[in-house]
Amino acid sequence: MPLIPLQIPKGQYRNGTDLMSQGRWRDINLVRWHEDALRPIGGWRQRASVDINGVARSIIAWEDNTNNRRLATGTYNKLYAINAGGTSTDITPVGLTAGRVDATINTGYGASFYGYEEYGLPRSDNQNILKATVWSLDNWGEYLLAMSPDDGKLYEWQLNNSVKAAQVSNAPTSCSGFMVTEERFVACFGAGGDPRKVQWSDQEDNTSWTPAATNQAGDLRIQTNGIILKGLRTRGQSLILTTEDAHTMT
C-alpha cells in the first residue's frame, strides 16, 4: 500500500469547532516545532530543592534591581524567601496569625443561619467551607508584598535576609487579599472585614491610605451579591473577581 504524505501545517489551531480545525493540529501537549517538524520539547531538569515547613500554596518569582533572581512562597504559618542557589530564609512576620493547612467544613459557632439547629451543638454539614491558606504575593518595585487571608495584614520585605517582613504602616487590616495595579496603587480586598470593600493607597506610596485632597487614596464597596475572591492586573485596567461576577477598576 502506498504511503500518503500528510501536509499538516505547523502550529496549533483551536479556533472554533473541530471541523473548522480540519487539517490542522488541534490538540497538542509538550511539543515544539523545529525546522518545520513536530518534536518533543525535551526533558525537565530540576533546578534545586528547598526544604520548608508546610505546604506551599502560592509562589512568586522576580528579579531585583541588581538582577538577582528571587522566589517567595507562603505556607499556612510561614513566609519564605528563596535565592537562586536554592537557599531559603524564614521571613515570617512577627505575630503572624496562622491559617489552615487544608480546607475544612466550618461546623462551629457562626457557621450557619441564626436560630438554625440547636444552640450549643455543632452544626451539621452545611457546606460552609473554611479555605486552606493561600497567600497573596506581589511586587512593590523590587520589594515583596505579602498577605495571608487568615492574618489580614499587609507586609513588606525589603530583601534583607536578617530582617523579617514587616507590616506596612497605615494599611487596612482584616483583609482577604491584595494586588498592585498597573498604575502602582496597592488595592486591598475585604478591607476592615467587609468582604465587598476595596481600599487603595495613594499612587506610588503604600503607606498613605487616608483619602485627602493631596493624594489619590480611597475606597469603595462593590455593588454585588458576591464576595471578593481576588484581583488581577491586566493591561490598562485591573479585574476584581467575586463569587458572583467580575468588575474592572481603573
Distance CA 226, CA 130 (A): 16
Rg from Cα positions in the chain: 23
Residues 92-114 pLDDT 10s: 999 999 999 988 877 666 666 66
User: What would the DSSP string read from start to end of 28-52?
Assistant: --SEEEETTEEEE------------
Distance CA 215, CA 186 (A): 13
Instruction: Give 100's contacts (C-beta < 8 A, 6+ positions apart).
Output: 76, 130, 131, 132, 133, 150
Q: What is the structure's pLDDT at 126? A: 57
User: 53-92 in b/e burial notation, b at 16+ Cβ within 10 A?
Assistant: ebebbbebebeeeeeeebbbbbbbbbbbbbeeeeebbebb
Give the start-to-end residue ranges of the domains of the chain: 11-45, 58-249
Average confidence score pLDDT of the chain = 90
Distance CA 189, CA 202 (A): 15
Locate 75 and state its grid cell: 505556607
Residues 123-166 pLDDT 10s: 665 557 788 999 999 999 999 999 999 999 999 999 999 999 99
User: What count of residues does the chain have?
Assistant: 250
Q: What is the structure's pLDDT at 111? A: 61
Residues 160-188 pLDDT 10s: 999 999 999 999 999 999 999 999 999 99
C-alpha count within 13 angstroms, C-beta hemisphere, residue 51: 0
**Selected residue with higher pLDDT from 3 and 72:** 72
**Selected residue with higher pLDDT from 10 and 80:** 80
Q: What is the structure's pLDDT at 249? A: 92
Locate 241 and state its grid cell: 473577581
Segment 223-241 shows an average pLDDT of: 92
Locate 243 and state its grid cell: 463569587
